[in-house]
Amino acid sequence: MLSELLQGTDTGGFLVIQDSSSCTGRHLLKSFINAALNREENIHVLGFEVSEEELGEGLNTSAPQRLHFHNAYSDPLGWTDHLTFTVHQFCLDELTHLVKQTSQSKPATLVIDSLSWILRHQSPPAVCKTLQQLKRGGAVRAIIGLLHADMHQKGTVGSVCHLATSVITVAPGMKGDEAVAKITKRSKSGKVMQYEEIFSIKDDLTVIVQSKPSHLEHKQTDPEEQQMDPTAHLTFNLRLSDTERKAKEKLALPFVFSKEKKTALLHSGQGSGRILYEPDANDDYDQEDPDDDLDV
Amino acid sequence: MFTELNSILNSTPDSFTKGVSLAQAKEKGQLIFLEGLKESLSILIPQEGHTENQAMDFLRDPTVGLRSLYKFVQSSLNSSSSGEDGTEEWGPSVLLVDDISVLLSLGVSARAVLDFSHYCKATVCSQLQGNMVMLVRCDGEDEGDDGDDEGSELLLRGLTHQCSLTLHVQGLPTGYCRDIHGQVEVCWRRRQGDGQHTQKKLFQYKVHDKGASFFARGTSSAVL
User: ipTM score of the complex?
Assistant: 0.80
Establish how many alpha carbons lie within 13 A of residue A174's alpha carbon, considering only the half-sphere containing its beta carbon.
4
Establish how many alpha carbons lie within 13 A of residue A92's alpha carbon, considering only the half-sphere containing its beta carbon.
13
CB interface of B with A, residues 121-150, below 8 Å: 122, 126-127, 145-147, 149
CATH number at residue A87: 3.40.50.300
Bridge partners, residue A110, by sequence: A44, A143
Residue A172 within any structural domain of the chain: yes
Residue A58 within any structural domain of the chain: yes
CA distances, B26 to each of B17, B20, B80, B120 (Å): 21, 11, 12, 21
To the nearest whole angstrom, how far is the Cα of B111 from the nearest Cα of chain A?
7
CB interface of A with B, residues 160-219, below 8 Å: 176-177, 203
Residue A288 within any structural domain of the chain: no
Please enumerate in sequence order all residues whose Cβ is within 8 A of that of B116, keeping only pairs 6 or more positions apart, or say none: B65, B66, B69, B70, B103
Residue A72 within any structural domain of the chain: yes
CA distance A141 to A137: 9
pLDDT in tens, B97-132: 988 998 888 889 999 999 999 999 999 998 889 999
The DSSP secondary-structure symbol of B18 reads S
Q: Are A120 and B74 within 8 A, CB to CB? A: no
Instruction: Indicate whether this model's pTM tops 0.80.
Output: no
CB interface of A with B, residues 88-147, below 8 Å: 116, 120-121
CA distance A8 to B103: 45
Return the percentage of chain B with pLDDT > 70, whole number.
Answer: 78
> From the list B70, B147, B149, which residue is nearest A79 (CB)?
B70
pLDDT at B13 over 70: no
* A49 close to B119: Cβ distance less than 8 angstroms: no
Chain B residues in contact with A74 by the CB 8 A cut-off are 122, 126-127
Residue A138 within any structural domain of the chain: yes
Residue A9 within any structural domain of the chain: yes
pLDDT at B9: 56
Q: How many domains does chain A have?
A: 1
Chain B residues in contact with A75 by the CB 8 A cut-off are 119, 122
Q: Are A176 and B198 within 8 A, CB to CB? A: yes
pLDDT at B6: 55
Q: Are B111 and A120 within 8 A, CB to CB? A: yes
Per-residue pLDDT tens digits of chain A, which is 296 residues long: 888 888 876 777 899 999 998 888 999 999 999 998 888 888 999 999 999 988 888 888 787 788 889 999 999 998 888 778 888 889 888 888 888 887 667 778 999 999 999 999 999 999 999 999 998 887 888 999 999 999 999 999 999 999 999 999 999 888 777 889 999 999 888 899 999 999 888 888 888 888 755 555 444 444 445 567 777 778 888 888 889 898 988 887 877 777 777 777 777 666 667 778 787 877 776 777 777 777 76
Taking the Cβ of residue B198 and every Cβ of chain A, the question of whether any pair is shorter than 8 Å is answered with: yes
Residue A107 within any structural domain of the chain: yes
Label residue B217 by pLDDT band (50, 70, 90). Answer: confident
Check residues A26 and B197 and name the one with the higher pLDDT.
Answer: A26
Chain B residues in contact with A176 by the CB 8 A cut-off are 197-200
Residue B212: its H or E element: strand B211-215
Q: Are B157 and A148 within 8 A, CB to CB? A: yes
Share the mean pLDDT of chain B: 79
Q: Are B161 and A203 within 8 A, CB to CB? A: no
Check residues B25 and A164 and name the one with the higher pLDDT.
Answer: A164
Residue A118 within any structural domain of the chain: yes
Provide the residue range defining the domain that includes A101: 2-219
Mean pLDDT to the nearest integer, B26-40: 83
Q: Are A154 and B70 within 8 A, CB to CB? A: no
